[in-house]
Amino acid sequence: MLDGFYVIDKPVGVTSHDIVSRVRRAIGQKKVGHTGTLDPFATGVLPVAVGEGTKAIQFLDESEKEYRAVLRLGIATDTQDLTGQVVSERDWTGVTPADLEALVPRFTGKLSQLPPMFSALKQGGVPLYKLARQGKEVEREPREVEIYSLTFDWIRLPEAAFTVRCSRGTYVRTLACDIGEALGCGAHLLELRRLKSGLFLEAEAITLETLQEAADKSELLMPLDRALDHLKSFELCEEAGRRIANGIAPQVQDLPPGALDELKQDEEVRLYVAGRLAAVARCDKVRGLRLARGFN
């Protein structure tokens, strides 16, 4: 049984669900799931959990994402990217590269973003994109997102490439659309590539073909330890490990002296027994630790 994460370099034209199905076939395991959906037209970093890795998805730190994108001024589409239907065409010829650069401060920091209709967000249990395909548009609540940095890599009007570091939940398509509206000519995305999702990086991404052809597929795995490396860790005795295996949280005396003082309320930590990851627990300043998830 393989346990951990594959950092897949998603190709254009396939869904994130398609990637999960292909990984499942490549490794001969059913327990596979992805984190952080990528649109079919997008490429790049797609973390795929396998085996016990699927239990760890909820504990990942994917608070920061990084993307490289290409926008096209003058044309707006209903999907905010090149796959959609054109909804408006406006003159962009009055726009200069300096106009784009001048917008960077306006689109950096905390922003209010209206989720697009063509998205996986659900309303009444139905994904918005399904309603959009029926020609329906429903009211959506704006969400606060944060743009940590935004830089234009090149500007060859009416196209421009930019790199953005942003918070989880940011729609880069919507960012491009909003930039176009701020310029008065509209815009949509031609390309989108995810370079980073938390600690999962483009430099470590592998293609599906590489995974399929690998003789030892475990060598390509990111282990659970590393995927959860942002969490503090404590080593427990074997007796505490046996209790954890039975769903019983460790006692205060099982932890190193002063361990709880290092933690914040509800902070998540890794628990190890004999050097093996046994569980993730949450700090309870009153009761000690509460088990969040055990690992086999």
Helix (H) or strand (E) holding 175: helix 172-183
Is residue 152 packed enough to be buried (19+ CB in 10 Å), middle (13-18) or exposed (0-12)? Answer: middle
Burial class (CB in 10 A: 0-12, 13-18, 19+), 65: buried
Torsion of the alpha carbons at 207, 211, 216 and 218, rounded to the nearest 10: 80
- Give the closest residue to 1 by CA, choosing from 221, 174, 272, 242: 221
Task: Measure the CA angle with vertex 138, ends 134 and 139; round to 5°.
Answer: 170
Q: Catalytic annotation on 39?
A: yes
Q: Which tokens hold the place of 240? A: 């505490």
From the list 3, 9, 18, 39, the catalytic residue is 39
The residue length of the chain stands at: 296
Q: Cβ(61)–Cβ(198) under 8 Å?
A: yes
**Residue among 201, 184, 199 at smallest CA distance from 103:** 184
CA distance 117 to 138: 8
Tokens standing for 273? 């027994």
Distance CA 219, CA 217 (A): 5
Indicate which residues carry an active-site annotation.
Answer: 39
